[in-house]
Chains A and B, each alone.
Chain A
Amino acid sequence: MQRREFLKSSVAIAASATLPSLVKAEEFVPSQQKNATKPLVKNYRQLGKTAIHMGDISFGAGKLPSASMVLRAIDQGMNYFDTAPDYGNSENLIGEAMTRFKQRDKIYIASKYCTPLPYPSHLSAGSSKADYIATVEASLKRMHLDYLDVVFVHAMGEKNDKLEEEQKRLLDENMLLATEELKKAGKVRYLAVSSHGPNNLEPLLTSAVTSGHFDLIMTAFNFMKFPKLPQIIQLAAQHNVGVIAMKTLAGAKESGVESGETPFEHAAFRWVLKHPEVAGLVVTIKTVEDLNLYLQASGTPFTAQDQRALDRYAALHGQTYCRTGCGDCMNACPQGVDIANILRYQMYFEDYGDEKRAMQNYLALTHPATPCLDCQQPTCTAACDYGLPVAKKLQAAHRTLSFTSMA
């Protein structure tokens, strides 16, 4: 093969959206007689005032490995799939699955007001109505769908620490007009907002809930305390706004805290799902093993044994886990180091094994942790209510994430 051909074929990753369709396989029909050897979704809950009854454990498709994983998940009772244009090839793979699975009304698909550029590529405040509509139509095309069940204004407070600016993005008039038009056209059913912090998670979600524009929220929520989140999800319930939880594994560290037959993941899920306001949780599923492990927790009650497992986890990691969305340290650095985002990217690298994304995100930061290496007055450490050694963590994060700047 000539080098030119090789190069051409190598870069086709990014161009996969334009691939011709794969060899057609027969229609996929979910198993009527569920295979007893595989764990299934056992509990479905209504999502706020929507007509969505989602599985308590639902599919986060941020690292979707294949179309077949979608079919496999449907076979095991999963009915809610969370994707985005900037989740790599995720939408294309869902589209591939949908060419075989014809029962569109049996599942719910959520995507985001984003472009397919590398994550994060959320539409910014001030984008035109046409831009918002175009992103949804592009998602529909990639997924071979007529409509999205949910479209999200995604990751509020992730890239911007200015509350006022993010509130403009949250309630962008063009976005609201575009959503209304998309709803009228039958291309979108519900509007949602998501946030995993680190900036202003609580005020932004509160604004979303009280604005009356949003049908549901998706928030980082786990047993490692978020000071005001219980109030926010209760507020959401009062407004009949649905709640989906994410980041439920609190960093997903290899904890070794299983107690007896309770895997840590099950304890963490059950803690989230014991809150009646939470309709379901979305968790990233990368392997068949993930799917089978996670689904074992579906429909099962939170127990004292679970609490012991979580307590042990908190004791082990309480002083190393950065609470996404906490934001206490946000303005602690006089040099403006983007502390919360850096610690989150470090979590992506260390705990999620998402090294590439972590390093790319770090590279894009305007205020990385470079000044931390010789900082003489680490005011950040005192700012953490949970006692994290923030300065040391920032130095370690810089070394881990900067890679080429190590020379």
Chain B
Amino acid sequence: MASGDPPTIPHSAPVAVRGVLLALLPLLAALLYWQGQQVDSSLLDFQSGGHTLTAFLPKQVEKWQREERVRSFNSANLYEYVNGHAEYFLSAGFRALTVAEYRLPTDDKQPSLVLDLYDLGDPLNAFGILMDEMGSSGQPVAVGDAGFVNRRSLGFMAGSYYVKLAAFADDLSLQVVAQAVAKSIQNGTGPSPDKISFDRLFPDLGTLVTTRFIKENYHGWSFLQRVVERSFKQADGTVIQAFVVTGTPEQMLQLEQTLINFFKQEGSAISARQEEGIRLVQIADRYEGDWFVVPLKRSLLGIFHPWDDHFKKPFKAFIPHG
């Protein structure tokens, strides 16, 4: 070939290049797949309700230093963190979870504190989880809207958030970190518009004695789930129990119908009446005694007592939730 001629590529060359490229394709695909597998979805910081949950977690609280690596989970990968327990949280309104670890200067290999911050979308959900996980075994502690502490763990709720701190040794000042996180949540969400307000769910029926959360099968009725129950002491020393279930207007209509159908099948006498502008459904129940429910737009209130005049005043002042 003369030097002035344009270079020519042998016919066989493109075929070889194409062959090499073709041969590389599976390799390339494998490489891309492998890189994809290296992305730990838990390291993505999911946004929740307009907030990045990590922003609620201070980097330093006194001697506690937050580890750089903070893991986040959503409903699709929650099982990676709480395998076997994910459904429990999902059914309680779970939106997002962020897990952080805090280290003391004296910690050797393992950080001594793990903090789980759950966004449960609603204060009632957070209250339910808190009571379920900690309420019967822990001692009350003044953190957030409500909290309990055990030997090595502390749980509290703040608005719709449930926070659980677990320590790997005794006598660690969990409260210090918990208080900082509670304050941070409060600062981040502002004066909590969704702060739990049981007072708006119940009329003032006397001196408050207890507040409980019952996750399922309230009084053995499988249609009553996620119930808040309160008991009120009367002037004569007796106690009246009341309960409330909240939900959308459609859910409440359905619940009312289910409840009425159940008691009809039971053979209980059911009657409706108006009192103080509120509709009551009275149930003559062989087992509970006479009691009544108040179907409201976003809640269903039940009171285990027959209606009588002493309810008039509290019901007049009652501004129902929602």
Contacts and interface: CB of A to CB of B under 8 A. Distances in A.
Given A8-B140, A13-B135, A19-B231, A65 B218 contact: yes
Interface in A2-17: 3-16
B84 A350 contact: yes
Contacts of B288: 25, 66, 68
Given A9-B208, A69-B219, A23 B140 contact: no
A19 B239 contact: yes
Contacts of A1: 197-199, 208
Interface string B121-144: 000000000011101110110100
A242 to B, nearest CB: 28
B40 to A, nearest CB: 14
Interface stretch (B1-9, B49-57, B209-217, B312-320): B209-217
Contact of B164 (A5, A12, A404): A404
A148 B93 CA distance: 43
B210 A9 contact: yes
Nearest to B287: A68
A11 B83 contact: no
Interface stretch (A286-294, A297-305, A313-321): A286-294
Contacts of B104: none
Q: Is the interface of A mostly helix, strand, loop or mixed?
A: helix
A118 B238 CA distance: 28
Nearest to B241: A22
Interface in B78-115: 81-85, 88, 99, 101, 114
A106 interface: no
A407 interface: yes
A396 B240 CA distance: 45
A183 interface: no
Chain B's interface size range is 35 or more
B114, B237, B238, B286 pick with most chain A CB within 10 angstroms:
B286
A99 to B, nearest CB: 11
A287 B222 contact: yes
Given A22-B240, A23-B289, A407-B99, 15 more contacts: A1-B197, A1-B198, A10-B140, A11-B140, A14-B136, A23-B234, A26-B289, A65-B214, A68-B287, A75-B287, A285-B220, A289-B222, A403-B85, A406-B82, A407-B166
Interface of B: 81-85, 88, 99, 101, 114, 116, 131-133, 135-137, 139-140, 142, 145-148, 153, 164, 166, 197-199, 208-212, 214, 217-222, 230-231, 233-234, 237-241, 265, 267, 285-289, 304-305
26 contacts: A1-B208, A6-B198, A7-B146, A8-B140, A10-B146, A11-B139, A15-B210, A16-B210, A22-B231, A23-B305, A28-B287, A65-B219, A66-B220, A66-B288, A69-B219, A71-B286, A71-B287, A88-B136, A118-B136, A285-B220, A355-B88, A403-B85, A404-B114, A404-B153, A405-B166, A406-B83
